[in-house]
Structure 1
Amino acid sequence: MQDILDVIMEAENAADPAARLRSLADVPVPASYQGMVVREDETTMFDGLATRDKDPRKALHLQEVPVPELGPGEALIAVMASAVNYNTVWTSIFEPLSTFGFLKRYGRLSALTKRHDLPYHVVGSDAAGVVLRTGAGVTKWQAGDQVVAHCLNVELEDAAGHDDTMLDPQQRIWGFETNFGGLAQLAIVKANQLMPKPAHLTWEEAASPGLVNSTAYRQLVSHHGANMKQGDVVLIWGASGGLGSYATQMALNGGAIPVCVVSSPEKAEICRRMGADLVIDRAAEGYRFWSDEHTQDPAEWKRFGARIRELTGGEDPDIVFEHPGRETFGASVYVAKKGGTIVTCASTSGYEHQYDNRYLWMSLKRIIGSHFANYREAWEANRLIDLGRVHPTLSKVFPLEQTGQAAYEVHRNTHQGKVGVLCLAPAEGLGVRDQEKRARHLPAINRFRGV
């Protein structure tokens, strides 16, 4: 592993970094690597505890694991940096169910996928790094390519997947529903997960947008999602968070009008730094959409809707960008304009949604489910990062061995934007290949740092 890292570090100061990295093709691949895992024999460790009391630090372990066999159409990458997403939190607290069920089902698909059915699960759905090896049939990528990985793992052997790969019956989220994820020194990906690393970003910056940026793109911009247009009023829950921060940037970049919902003055200030003018601090304004555990308060929906119209000059949201789920969904359906769209990609506050259907059917509103992104959508989202139209929202970085703490902070919502993890990278700030381009965007790149 040290030989691999030595070549990558030598490229930092080389006149032609790409040429130096090509020599990785001659460096032997080690027999094992360090990965952050959850273990099958610990899946009941949190039984009886409330979700909030389940501690990812107790379930996530840094463990030496064998390098798996590289299959056709796959690539082995040296992971320089990764990031924590909510799916890593869910994996680490074994909610809503253990991910070992996913791995067992995938393992039954073929002799090759049987590799994934192990008593440990190497987690992580983001990565930035360098290609080490490619499997049979891979023509677009080669050893030494600097890449980021998106997390759509798809077999594409069924006709259903060839209009939209997210509809493929064998579609999975890499590092969540598959093994060998990105929170590790090495990772196995399909070649159609790879995209060029933006040259003006560090490893940790480049790793942080992948899952959430692509998810926000499909959910908000794509015709598979809300199909946002110029002038749309877009209500964005958690607008300073890992997902909402990209939705906010895309709304602004696409000529829409974001109404950013946050939960503190500090988060409100982050939204203003991104260029958003209309911000609701739901904690300061005291919104309580549930009067008790079982009963929603429609009066609060109405008060919230009135506040939105006050900010927008009388307009209701064309689009509601939903992901909190149970806590907010009733309000989201209510405040969307007549003919408007509620698009949801997650349920971080609970999966069982309740809403008053009269406000949906009588006002001809639509609810759209959105899940990650297909390769084209992920590529377009990464292109926006590369063009400097959308920027990473990285706020904090941990070493690989402290991934549990990083996941704990995401679980307890004490973070802003994205939380990064250094894997093989020995320090922050490495991997930049275009300093001139970086200098043009540096204030935006650093907007979330240290917040």
Structure 2
Amino acid sequence: MQQILDAILAGDTAPEEFAHLDVPESYRAALVRKDEVDMFEGMETKEKDPRKSLHVEDVPVPELGPGEALVAVMASAINYNTVWTSIFEPVSTFGFLERYGRLSPLTKRHDLPYHVVGSDLAGVVLRVGPGVTKWKPGQEVVAHCLSVELEDHMGHDDTMLDPQQRIWGFETNFGGLADVALVKANQLMPKPDHLTWEEAASPGLVNCTAYRQLVSHHGGQMKQGDNVLIWGASGGLGGFATQYALNGGATPVCVVSSEDKAEVCRSMGAELVINRNEEGYRFWKDERTQDPKEWKRFGARIRELTGGEDIDIVFEHPGRETFGASVYVTRKGGTITTCASTSGYMHEYDNRYLWMNLKRIISSHFANYRESWEANRLVAKGRIHPTLSRSYPLTEVGQATLDVHQNAHQGKVGVLCLAPEEGLGVRDPEFRAQHEDAINRFRGV
């Protein structure tokens, strides 16, 4: 691996030289073990500690198949799916790997007694399999996390509808929290030249997810002038949703949990911010009973900020805790888009406010190939910026995941894999200088 790292750090290594570098037989990887899936049994979700379940070990480099690529990973990032994997909730991911392994002899490689996790990366192509023509060794890339077989007709209008659609590093093995990753070559996209490795790795999953959920015709179809309610507006997903709302001429109404996070939203250009902790919103009286009076108080606060207007689109991802309020505050004919349920999957809402006011709930899950490329293009053009707040070395991936699990983070948490330190990989410092403040907006918060 040191020869590979030296070639990357040199910055001017010819592509043909990368093609002749030896790929090691094994590599470091963050993984969970199949024989430990019951280790947290009987514990409350918040008590489960990813530092105990995530291990950094050497594993064999997987066989490279047709249409695939091996990538030397300089940096990766933590997403909530790594939290779920590490605490074995809502199910163990080994079931995903077993089902994938039954498809073919090639996919059988993924069904192992360990699961290498991670759904983001920035790095350099080392090898490509038969049939790959777009990518070559030595190219600097990022990867989106959509893995599909595209053998079924259902996937050819929208790849997210393919019956064999999976999230790489969550529903497949050989993810990005490692020194080497195995991806389908069509997951690769050009690394933005003005970003460091850790910055370039961090947008992937959440940026593409926010783009589809809010902007795409498959999601909210946001237009100029829309009022957009964004939960967790300074977080991993919400930080990108806030940027998309501002770029698209909409008015974000940002919901955050602290004044520090409110300041981050204001620094992005958002003017309408609700600190839910400071204002004391409690949408549930107890575990089973919601409080409609709090929905109404929340809606009144929104109208106070917007000059009497209701919400056109709700950017939903907390789930159970907020969903009843989200449905209530949406305007007649408005849209609630949902992509996750970090506070619980069993949503409850008063259906009268939905059906009698012709509101719509739209489900959204990651992004298709085109949406992913469009989202990455906006990062490369400096229209959308990373939300990286801090980075950990791969050896501390458990702590990085715990930060996200406990919501003790801001924006995205990065992980340095092969990169020996932060700040490396910038190829266009002049363009970067134009956006330095925006790139570093989440740092230190």
Q: Which residue of 1 aligns with 2:165?
A: 171
Matched, 1:229 2:223: yes
* 1:384 aligned partner: 378
* Aligned equivalents of 2:225, 2:374: Cα separation in 1: 21
1:122 aligns with 2:116: yes
What is residue 330 of structure 1 aligned with on the other side?
324
Q: How does 1:263-412 map to 2 (within 5 A)?
A: 263-412=257-406
The alignment partner of 1:58 has SS state of helix
2:34 to 40, 49, 56: 40
Aligned to 1:14: none
Q: 1:419 to 1:22 in 2, by over 3 A?
A: farther
Q: What is the aligned partner in structure 1 of residue 4 from structure 2?
A: 4
SS of the residue corresponding to residue 415 of structure 2 reads strand
Q: Is the contact made by 2:31 and 2:116 (CA closer than 8 Å) also made in structure 1?
A: yes
Corresponding residue for 1:90? 84
Counterpart-to-counterpart distance in 2, 1:337 and 1:59:
44
Secondary structure at the aligned position of 2:56 is classed as strand
Deviation at 1:120, TM superposition (A): 0.2
3-state SS of paired residue (2:126): strand
Give the gaps of 5 or more residues in structure 1. 12-16
1:12-38 CA distances to partner (integer Å, 9 max, x unpaired)? Answer: xxxxx3x53541111010000010000
Is 2:236 the counterpart of 1:214?
no
Question: Quick check: 1:8–1:21 contact (8 Å CA) kept in 2?
Answer: no
CA distance in structure 2 between the aligned counterparts of 1:389 and 1:146, rounded to whole angstroms: 20
Answering whether residue 219 of structure 2 is matched by residue 205 of structure 1, we say: no
Structure 2 unaligned spans of 5+: none
Distance in 1 of aligned mates of 2:16 and 2:265: 41
Q: Which amino acid aligns with 2:86?
A: S
Q: What whole-Å deviation, never above 9, does each CA across 1:395-417 have from its counterpart, x for those lacking one? A: 00000010000000000001000
CA offsets 1:142-162 (integer angstroms, 9 cap, x no match): 000000000000000000000
Taking the TM superposition and a 5 Å limit, the aligned residue runs for 1:56-135 are: 56-135=50-129
Is the Cα contact below 8 Å between 1:396 and 1:420 reproduced in 2? Answer: yes
- CA shift in 2, pair 1:449/1:21, >3 Å: farther
CA distance in 1, matches of 2:368, 2:397: 27
2:423 maps to which residue?
A: 429
The residue identity in structure 1 corresponding to 2:67 is G
SS at 2:183 equivalent: strand
Counterpart contact for 2:65–2:129, Cα < 8 Å: yes
Matched, 1:239 2:259: no
Is contact 2:15–2:136 with CA below 8 Å preserved after alignment? no
Once residues 55 and 36 of structure 1 are traced to their aligned partners in structure 2, the CA distance between those partners, rounded to angstroms, is 15
SS in 2 for 1:290: coil
Q: Secondary structure at the match of 1:296?
A: coil
Tell me if structure 2 keeps the 8 A contact 1:128–1:203.
yes
Percent identity at matched positions? 78
SS at match of 1:319: strand
Deviation at 1:10, TM superposition (A): 1.3
1:194 aligns with 2:194: no
The alignment yields a C-alpha RMSD, in angstroms, of 0.5
Distance 2:87 2:244 in 1: 31
AA of the residue aligned to 2:409 = H
> Partner of 1:216: helix, strand, or coil?
helix
The answer (yes or no) to whether the contact 1:323–1:344 under 8 Å persists in 2 is: yes
Distance 1:321 1:329 in 2: 10
* Cα deviation digits, residues 342-362 of structure 1 (max 9, x gap): 000000000000000000000
Q: Report the Cα distance in structure 1 between the residues aligned to 2:298 and 2:153, rounded to whole angstroms.
A: 44
**Contact 1:82 1:183 (8 Å CA) reproduced:** yes
Change (3 A) 1:182 1:344: same
- Per-residue CA deviations over 1:177-201 (Å, capped at 9, x if unaligned) read 0000000000000011000000000
Q: 2:255, 2:273 within 8 Å by CA — same for their partners in 1?
A: yes
Aligned-partner Cα distance in 2 for 1:361–1:221:
24
- Which one-letter code corresponds to 1:9 in the other structure? L
* Structure 1 contact 128–149 (Cα < 8 Å) conserved: yes
Question: What is aligned with 1:184?
Answer: 178
Task: Please give the secondary structure, in 1, of the residue aligned with 2:29.
Answer: strand
Deviation at 1:9, TM superposition (A): 1.1
SS at match of 1:337: strand
Residue type of the alignment partner of 1:272: R
AA matched with 2:246 = L
Tell me, what secondary structure is at the counterpart of 1:226? coil
Distance 2:184 2:97 in 1: 16
User: Secondary structure at the residue paired with 1:44?
Assistant: coil
The TM-score normalised by the length of structure 1 is: 0.98
Whole-angstrom distance in 2 between the partners of 1:309 and 1:61: 48
- Taking the aligned partners of 2:323 and 2:15, their CA distance within structure 1 comes to 48
Rounded Cα–Cα distance in structure 2 between residues aligned with 1:450 and 1:295: 38
TM-score if structure 2 supplies the norm length?
A: 1.00
